[in-house]
């Protein structure tokens, strides 16, 4: 029976490990040799199934080993920062340990024994408790992380504050659970086991509810931020169209009046009054010059062109030069709303970067576009202050929730259309330049 329990545990734990890696691979890029980390992850789990420990090593040390090997294994699997690795490691440990304590305590209660790590380790229920803990953890992983929270976790991992909050609570829950379950004091088994059962159940419930709450709060905060940003973008568009409409109306009025002018000229020609004709032509020319159609064509796309004209005015107000030539294939399949969001966030980031350039005469911005094989490359180049390097993807503003998503929004849209970006800095004639290159497949253009 013990062999069957062990085989069951090995099978379920292997499935759990594979699903765990695959679910979170949706949010982090896998390393080239990620399978090395996956193997280390599995070996760390399999070691905990050993029941014959040399040199009298306590079972507790097997559990403590995972606090070292899990972060190491997951850092070999995913390309991400230490905070995300810490969360993923503690998340796996907490899921498994809570349910292991729960089932181990149940078996202790059935056998009228006080639960201790030594008792469960030397009992026939050790592997069964592990197998059941991995099974329940697998179910919770699929239900919560893969189904309920799947669309909200990406934004959660971008919010350092909520991530640190969860990590802190993970540590507190694990420490308290270990402290309660690792006691060697002889206590009334029924009372102690029931308390431990309730503790495991409560910790599991609190942790799940907290994860749902933080994921939802982050998601709705981001949604509100995106909505406000979109409202601002659309406001720019509306102002542009109103201005353009006003200028167009002025031109139409001139055209309407000019028809009458031509009739007058025709009558004067019949009477050969050339002096009056010359005066009328000169007055009409002056009136036409007074109509300021301040619209320059920066792009062959109406939506992008409107946004570029708006930002040209904003850049002009801060003394920045503005030069743009954006060619977008007219079969472009990106929705107008994503097109606005993409260019708005790029232009807004460039605008904020230029504000940090102290010498206004050194504020320069340029957009270039070219086709490279199967991609359209659009390059955004602006001068920058090295102290506020744009390669630092974290915002320098106090309102981090409002302004910290620009880069992530850009990357998200590019990924959606199978594109990618390249960022780097250069120096030329004593000025520092930031380069953002975005690449979009021609077949989506």
In DSSP notation, 182-209 reads T------HHHHHHHHHHHHHHHHHHHHH
For the chain, the average pLDDT equals 82
Q: What is the CATH number of the domain that holds 402?
A: 3.30.565.10
For residues 88 and 139, state if they share a domain: yes
Report pLDDT for 354.
93
Q: What is the pLDDT of residues 320-352, one digit of tens each?
A: 999 888 877 645 578 777 888 888 889 989 999
Query: For the residues 375-386, what does the mean pLDDT come to?
Result: 91
For residues 141 and 241, state if they share a domain: no
For residues 312 and 270, state if they share a domain: no
Confidence of residue 56 (pLDDT cuts 50, 70, 90): low
**Nearest-angstrom CA–CA distance, 148 and 116:** 35
**Residue at 411 is within a domain:** yes
CB 413 within 8 A of CB 342: yes
For residues 238 and 225, state if they share a domain: no
Report the SS3 class of residue 439.
strand
Report pLDDT for 14.
95
- % of residues, the chain, pLDDT over 90: 35
β-pair partners for 377: 370, 439
**Residue at 81 is within a domain:** yes
Alpha helices in 25-81 (DSSP H): 34-47, 59-77
Chain centre distance of CA 238: 28
**Nearest-angstrom CA–CA distance, 311 and 94:** 50
For residues 53 and 170, state if they share a domain: yes
For residues 52 and 88, state if they share a domain: yes
Query: For the residues 419-428, what does the mean pLDDT come to?
Result: 90
How many structural domains does the chain have? 3
Residue that is last in its domain, among 290, 313, 332:
290
Q: Which residues contact 220 (CB under 8 A, 6 or more apart)?
A: none
Of the CA atoms within 13 Å of residue 403, those in its CB half-sphere come to 13
**Residue at 420 is within a domain:** yes
Range of the domain at 263: 233-290
Report pLDDT for 306.
78
Distances (CA, A) of 81 to 76, 147, 157, 194: 12, 24, 10, 40
Provide the whole-model pTM.
0.60
**Residue at 15 is within a domain:** yes
**Residue at 364 is within a domain:** yes
Residue that is last in its domain, among 201, 229, 257:
229
Nearest to 347 by CA among 328, 369, 329, 324: 324
For residues 349 and 271, state if they share a domain: no
**Residue at 397 is within a domain:** yes
Q: Which residues contact 433 (CB under 8 A, 6 or more apart)?
A: 381, 382, 383, 384, 425, 426, 427
Q: What's the distance, Cα to Cα, between the start and end of the chain in Å?
A: 62
**Residue at 295 is within a domain:** no
Report pLDDT for 13.
94
For residues 370 and 382, state if they share a domain: yes
Q: Running DSSP on this structure, what letter comes out for residue 444?
A: G
Q: What is the pLDDT of residues 26-43, one digit of tens each?
A: 888 899 899 999 999 999
**Nearest-angstrom CA–CA distance, 22 and 244:** 51
Report pLDDT for 233.
63
For residues 143 and 262, state if they share a domain: no
For residues 241 and 200, state if they share a domain: no
For residues 87 and 168, state if they share a domain: yes
**Residue at 427 is within a domain:** yes
Report pLDDT for 402.
38
Across the beta sheet with 420-428, what order do the strands follow? 321-324, 364-372, 375-383, 431-441, 420-428
For residues 331 and 384, state if they share a domain: yes
């Amino acid at each position: 029976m013990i062999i069957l329990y062990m085989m069951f545990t090995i099978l379920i734990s292997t499935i759990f490990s594979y699903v765990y890696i695959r679910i979170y691979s949706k949010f982090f890029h896998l390393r080239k040799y990620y399978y090395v980390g996956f193997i280390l992850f599995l070996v760390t789990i399999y070691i905990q199934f050993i029941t014959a420990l040399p040199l009298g090593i306590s079972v507790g040390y097997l559990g403590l080993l995972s606090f070292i090997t899990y972060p190491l294994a997951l850092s070999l699997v995913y390309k991400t920062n230490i905070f995300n690795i810490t969360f993923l490691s503690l998340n796996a440990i907490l899921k498994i340990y809570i349910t292991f304590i729960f089932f181990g305590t149940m078996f202790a209660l059935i056998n009228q024994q006080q639960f201790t790590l030594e008792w469960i380790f030397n009992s026939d229920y050790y592997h069964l408790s592990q197998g059941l803990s991995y099974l329940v953890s697998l179910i919770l992983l699929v239900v919560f992380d893969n189904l309920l929270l799947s669309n909200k976790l990406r934004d959660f991992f971008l919010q350092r504050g909520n991530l640190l909050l969860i990590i802190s609570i993970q540590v507190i829950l694990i420490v308290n659970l270990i402290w309660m379950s690792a006691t060697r004091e002889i206590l009334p088994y029924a009372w102690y086991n029931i308390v431990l059962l309730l503790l495991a159940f409560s910790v599991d419930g609190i942790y799940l509810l907290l994860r749902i709450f933080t994921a939802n709060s982050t998601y709705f905060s981001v949604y509100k931020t995106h909505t406000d940003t979109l409202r601002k973008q659309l406001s720019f568009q509306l102002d542009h169209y109103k201005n353009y409409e006003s200028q167009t109306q002025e031109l139409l009025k001139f055209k309407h009046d000019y028809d009458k002018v031509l009739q007058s000229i025709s009558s004067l020609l019949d009477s050969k009054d050339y002096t009056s004709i010359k005066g009328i032509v000169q007055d009409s020319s002056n009136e036409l010059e007074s109509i300021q159609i301040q619209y320059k064509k920066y792009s062959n796309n109406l939506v992008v062109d409107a946004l570029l004209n708006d930002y040209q005015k904003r850049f002009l107000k801060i003394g920045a030069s503005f030069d743009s030539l954006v060619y977008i294939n007219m079969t472009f399949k990106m929705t107008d709303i994503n097109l606005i969001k993409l260019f708005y966030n790029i232009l807004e980031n460039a605008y904020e970067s230029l504000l940090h350039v102290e010498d206004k005469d050194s504020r320069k911005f340029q957009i270039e576009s070219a086709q490279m094989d199967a991609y359209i490359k659009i390059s955004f180049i602006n001068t920058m202050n090295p102290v506020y390097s744009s390669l630092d993807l974290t915002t320098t503003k106090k309102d981090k929730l409002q302004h910290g998503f620009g880069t992530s929004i850009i990357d998200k849209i590019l990924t959606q259309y199978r594109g990618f970006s390249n960022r780097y800095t250069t120096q030329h004639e004593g000025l520092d330049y930031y380069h953002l290159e975005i690449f979009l497949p021609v077949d989506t253009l």
